[in-house]
Amino acid sequence: MAGKVSKPKERTFEKRLEQLEALAEKMEQGNLALHELMAAFEEGAKLAAGLRAELEQAQVRMMEIKATQGEKLKPSGVVEQGLLLSSLEEDE
């Protein structure tokens, strides 16, 4: 009888954000070799892109919910943080 193959649990948004913050701190210390720094930067860029996409999806979903309830559309603090992150990255 074949056993079930379980998928690894996806990390939560908060865990991925913590990982991104830890990578940033590690890179800011300035004691990584160039190849380690580049690997950390690449990993951080992937994490940031995934987090940004998830925040954008949350913003769309929140607006849909509010629109169906007839409320005035106003982003929450989490969405505002995501929008700020996006605008900072666009400025670079």
> What pLDDT does 88 receive?
66
Of the candidates 9, 17, 16, 42, the one whose C-alpha atom is nearest the C-alpha of residue 27 is 42
List pLDDT tens digits, range 1-47. Answer: 455 554 556 789 999 999 999 999 999 999 999 999 999 999 999 99
List pLDDT tens digits, range 56-92. Answer: 999 888 888 887 876 555 655 666 666 666 666 665 5
Contact 27, 48 (CB under 8 A): no
Tokens of 35: 């190849």
Burial class (CB in 10 A: 0-12, 13-18, 19+), 25: exposed
User: Which residues lie closer than 8 Å to 20 by C-beta, 6 or more apart?
Assistant: 44, 47, 48, 51
pTM score, two decimals?
0.63
- In this predicted structure, the answer to whether residue 50 has a pLDDT above a threshold of 90 is yes
